[in-house]
Amino acid sequence: MTASSAAPSVPASTGRGVRVARAVLLVVGVALIGLGGYVLTDTVNPTRYGGLLVWLIGSVIVHDAVLAPLVVAVSLVVRRAGRRVRPAVLAIVQTTVIVGAVLSIVVVPEIIAKAKGTKNDTVLPFDYGARLGVLWLVLALLAAATIAVYLAVTRRQKVRPEADQV
């Protein structure tokens, strides 16, 4: 095997700056994990580790069983809806779905708790279901407006005549 046929560990297009940025991000990430471990052991009572572990496992399950399949399904629907969907439009739709899904995951427990009832009416004072519906409506309108602006800008750039072709 010659030196030219050996596969590089980093793609040839990756410059020194990208490698430095990756290394810095890796070091910062490891440092933050260490800080999180220290804060956990310093501030959380060991009897609460079980509940924390359940929450962490639940968040992984929610991500893998709810969020990721939802984004994939929306992506498939959007791609099949038109002959060709631009990647930027797909990214806008995916971002909208992710934001809405994450906020829904935060609000659904409040909706369930409100439906069960509380001893103190001031604990959950709002109609969280209606507010979640309004949130999804606002997200859909923002996504539609963002897509419309993007398409208008890209269309205008294509229509604009070149200055060199006079």
pLDDT in tens, 89-146: 888 988 999 899 889 988 988 888 888 888 888 888 889 999 999 999 999 999 999 9
- B/e letters for 89-104, b = 16+ CB within 10 Å, e = fewer, are beebbbebbeebbeeb
Tokens in use for 118?
Answer: 């509380």
Domain extents in the chain: 13-43, 54-159
Q: What is the pTM of this model?
A: 0.63
pLDDT of residue 8: 52
pLDDT in tens, 9-59: 555 567 888 999 999 999 999 999 999 999 999 999 999 999 889 988 988
pLDDT of residue 43: 93
